[in-house]
Amino acid sequence: DAYDAGEHESFMHKEILEQPAAAERVMRGRLNDRFATGHLGGLNLDARELRAIRRVKVLGCGSAYYVGEMGATLIEELARIPASAEAASEFRYRNPIIEPDTLYVAVSQSGETIDTLLAVQEIRRKGGRVIGLVNVVGSAIAREVDGGIYLHAGPEVAVASTKALTNMFLGFAMLALQLGRVRDLSIADGRRLIAGLNALPGKIEQVLATEERLEAIAERLAAAESLFFVGRVRGFPVAREGAQKFKEISYRHAEAYQTSELKHGPLALISPAVPTVAIVPDDELVERNVAALHEIAARGGPLVVVTHDDVELQGLDAERVVVPRTERELDPILLTIPLQLLAYHAAKHLGHDIDKPRNLAKSVTVE
Ligand code: G6P
């Protein structure tokens, strides 16, 4: 097989490190600087059809669902179209209302996940329009949809998705840009986003360069039986994805929560034995986030804070992980990368089979 782990000890590690190159591939030829927009030919939607979309509904399973939540936020921010994500596995069973002016987006690395495929078929049976964000060319979902964006991440072998996931986020960013630019997103904002996107591969590289430090933190986290991952708004799907990765390969109980909701329940569980990984970008919510983290520290909860440089933690006793700044809308992807490495090194430290975690399959093709 041409694709092997090479000098890497696992496919997951190789795939994590391939992200800067994969990110460049998914964006190549798809950003139009002159008109400050995305150029996604495979959507099969002209400007008038894009303009007629009143709502966006994203469907996926597992990590694809969590990136779908990041994508829905991007679409709401840049295009101001109501957008939400839902687990494809649940969607079909609640007799969903399919509307002609909603754009449905099916997200899947393999393109074979049965729950996502069945959701696509249900939507199309009811006359809805579906596009795919799919990695595997010619896969079942790619063949069923009305159009889409291939992710060009290259083959992904590890069950825990990394580079495909990053490219899903970038696919959403380009889609949101294109939807925004047929509406009220200005040329200046479009250019700002494009410059941010073009700089991302280099910034992903910078995060990957901090691996040694993340490894040391991961070894400490691996000792805990139970952990929280917390974030708000743009940071909440990041926390969900971080918890998902951690639990699937380290087999530790990792629960994601909105930082704002801690005081409504989970704070009761905080103790020196239960660490929290907090996603705290330097955004509109930074002060409130930091205040909530002090509540955790006051109860002896160990903290790892994934944040930007110069964020004032007000004397918080915490391990700080810094990611480079980008445009705020694009923060989620850089905040996600250290969480991949935390999960990876925790699992490695515990001696698990990282590429093939117990009880899980890379693509789930039975309902
Ligand atoms: C499985 C894997 C998950 C993955 C999900 C969706 O459950 O364990 O890691 O996110 O499938 O896979 P897809 O190929 O549709 O992205």
Question: What is the predicted pLDDT for the residue at 7?
Answer: 82
**What ipTM describes this predicted complex?**
0.93
Q: Which pTM value belongs to this model?
A: 0.96
Ligand 1 atom nearest the C-alpha of 361 is 8
How far is 162 from 168, CA to CA, in rounded Å?
10
Q: What are phi and psi of 221, to 5 degrees?
A: -65, -35
From the CA of 136, how far away is ligand 1's center (Å)?
13
Amino acid present at 89: S
| 161 in contact with ligand 1, CB cutoff 6 A | yes
| 298 in contact with ligand 1, CB cutoff 6 A | no
Helix axes 331-349, 235-250, angle to 10 degrees: 20
Beta-carbon neighbour count of residue 31 at 10 Å? 21
Residue 322 in 3-state DSSP? Answer: strand
Nearest CA to ligand 1 atom 2: 362
Contacts of 302 (CB under 8 A, 6+ apart): 220, 272, 274, 275, 276, 319
Say if CB 170 and CB 336 are below 8 A apart: no
Question: What is the predicted pLDDT for the residue at 360?
Answer: 86
- Strand 37-38 and strand 55-60: pairing? unpaired
How far is 77 from 59, CA to CA, in rounded Å?
19
- Listed residue (334, 354, 356) closest to 346, CA to CA: 354
Say if CB 303 and CB 276 are below 8 A apart: yes
| 159 in contact with ligand 1, CB cutoff 6 A | yes
pLDDT tens by residue, the chain, 367 residues? 567 888 888 999 999 999 999 999 999 999 999 999 999 999 999 999 999 999 999 999 999 999 999 999 999 999 999 999 999 999 989 999 999 999 999 999 999 999 999 999 999 999 999 999 999 999 999 999 999 999 999 999 888 999 999 999 999 999 999 999 999 999 999 999 999 999 999 999 999 999 999 999 999 999 999 999 999 999 999 999 999 999 999 999 999 999 999 989 888 899 999 999 999 999 999 999 999 999 999 999 999 999 999 999 999 999 999 999 999 999 999 999 999 999 999 999 999 989 888 888 888 888 8
Contacts of 15 (CB under 8 A, 6+ apart): 156, 157, 158, 162, 163
- Strand 37-38 and strand 31-32: pairing? antiparallel
Say if CB 326 and CB 193 are below 8 A apart: no
Q: What are phi and psi of 40, to 5 degrees?
A: -110, 90
Question: What is the predicted pLDDT for the residue at 2?
Answer: 60
Amino acid present at 47: A
- Listed residue (61, 39, 66) closest to 197, CA to CA: 39
From the CA of 153, how far away is ligand 1's center (Å)?
15
| 178 in contact with ligand 1, CB cutoff 6 A | no
Element of type H or E holding 320: strand 319-322
Residue 63 Cα to chain centre, angstroms: 7
DSSP-derived secondary structure for 212-257: HHHHHHHHHHHT-SEEEEEE-TTHHHHHHHHHHHHHHHH--EEEEE
From the CA of 160, how far away is ligand 1's center (Å)?
8
Question: What is the predicted pLDDT for the residue at 49?
Answer: 96
How far is 170 from 174, CA to CA, in rounded Å?
6
Q: What are phi and psi of 227, to 5 degrees?
A: -140, 155
Question: In the 8-state DSSP scheme, what is residue 41?
Answer: G
| 276 in contact with ligand 1, CB cutoff 6 A | no
Question: What is the predicted pLDDT for the residue at 357?
Answer: 87
Question: In the 8-state DSSP scheme, what is residue 94?
Answer: G
From the CA of 248, how far away is ligand 1's center (Å)?
11
Question: What is the predicted pLDDT for the residue at 362?
Answer: 84
- Listed residue (67, 72, 79) closest to 38, CA to CA: 79
Of 118, 360, 362, 365, which is best to mutate to test ligand 1, by the most ligand atoms within 8 angstroms of its C-beta?
A: 362
From the CA of 187, how far away is ligand 1's center (Å)?
36
From the CA of 346, how far away is ligand 1's center (Å)?
21
- Strand 55-60 and strand 303-307: pairing? unpaired
Question: In the 8-state DSSP scheme, what is residue 304?
Answer: E
∠ Cα 287 218 110 (to 5°):
95
